Amino acid sequence: MLPLFRLLSVLPLRVLHALGAAIGWLAFALSPTYRRRFLGNIAQAGLRFAEARPAVAHIGRMVAELPRLWLGRMPPIEWDNAECVDRAYARGAGVLFLTPHLGCFEVTAQALAQRYAPAHGPLTVLFRPARKAWLAPLVAASRGRPGLEAAPTTLAGVRQMIKALRSNRAVGLLPDQVPPDGMGVWVPFFGRPAYTMTLAARLALQTGAEVRLVWGERLPGGRGFRLHFRELLQPLQGELEPAVAQLNEEMARLIRECPQQYLWSYARYKAPRAQAAKS
């Protein structure tokens, strides 16, 4: 599989994205479970299929572009509102970057590390080791690029992220992942209770880090990506559960900017395995 990834990594993005679009539609057509979840999630968000239809192809593009992002050279990057990141670093505190499963979330960490790590130290990213043995070295290599440090999804990894933020460095993670049992709370996401990680809110509340929202828009024609940065609409709530709910709403706000590139096939409303077994 590694030789195939190396071969694909040198292909132009436009070719990979064309291949990915076909993969996305094939998965949508062949898997009733996949299709049902996709349609159920967009309905929960109050969208018509026509509004989210391009996401079918973009989910496939997300998969097809991985060889380039993991093993190839950095694609062209455009920056939208990077000034708010500069302001965050200028305040001399840690910076917590949060991104939903929107657009190309793989490229955000690499681009941030390339631009800011030389002056502000490495970006620490939450890292869940690959379950497939053949995929593990590829994922590890993608997280081991210059300017990036990987923190495992363990207590030691949490300590690593807290240490980075308290040292006025940056941390990045995806707060709309379903966490393990006991590491989340049930709060609304597009109006429906979703088991949501508390880690992002805890990191911000415990360290006083500046929170910045980011997502990587996939540009047409394989032209690269545009990183969009946003600040919180309101300061983060001081209590944990309201803060988690607030971050969920902030993630939904980003998704509403471009529902055509969200990972609507993700099982966002599932219960952790232990809780599902009890129900």
SS3 259: helix
Task: List phi, psi (to 5°) of 212.
Answer: -130, 140
Q: Is 213 exposed, middle or buried (0-12, 13-18, 19+ CB in 10 A)?
A: buried
Q: What is the mean pLDDT of residues 95-105?
A: 97
Q: What is the mean pLDDT of residues 231-244?
A: 95
If you compute the radius of gyration of the chain from its CA atoms, what whole number of angstroms results? 18
Query: What is the spatial distance between Cα 147 and Cα 74, in angstroms, rounded to a whole number?
Result: 13
Instruction: Evaluate if residue 248 carries a pLDDT over 70.
Output: yes
Residue 233: closest CA among 217, 248, 218: 248
Query: What is the spatial distance between Cα 188 and Cα 135, in angstroms, rounded to a whole number?
Result: 34
Lowest mean pLDDT among 24-38, 43-57, 139-153, 231-245: 139-153
pLDDT at 160: 96
Number of H helices, E strands in the chain: 13, 9
pLDDT at 153: 84
Query: What is the spatial distance between Cα 66 and Cα 228, in angstroms, rounded to a whole number?
Result: 20
pLDDT at 275: 52
pLDDT at 139: 67
Cβ of 20: how many Cβ atoms within 10 Å? 22
Instruction: Evaluate if residue 88 carries a pLDDT over 80.
Output: yes
Q: What is the mean pLDDT of residues 152-173?
A: 94
Instruction: Evaluate if residue 223 carries a pLDDT over 80.
Output: yes
pLDDT at 5: 81
Residue 170: closest CA among 74, 80, 85: 85
Average pLDDT, the chain: 92
Residue 50: closest CA among 39, 59, 60, 37: 39
Instruction: Evaluate if residue 143 carries a pLDDT over 70.
Output: no
pLDDT at 126: 86
Q: What is the mean pLDDT of residues 194-210?
A: 97
Give percent above pLDDT 90 in the chain: 81
Instruction: Evaluate if residue 16 carries a pLDDT over 90.
Output: yes
Query: What is the spatial distance between Cα 74 and Cα 7, in angstroms, rounded to a whole number?
Result: 16
Helix (H) / strand (E) containing 71: helix 66-71
Largest pairwise CA distance in the chain:
51
Q: pLDDT band for 225, please (50, 70, 90 cuts).
A: very high
Q: pLDDT band for 135, please (50, 70, 90 cuts).
A: low
Residue 10: closest CA among 78, 59, 60, 65: 65
Q: What is the mean pLDDT of residues 186-204?
A: 97
138 or 249: which leads in pLDDT: 249
pLDDT at 279: 40
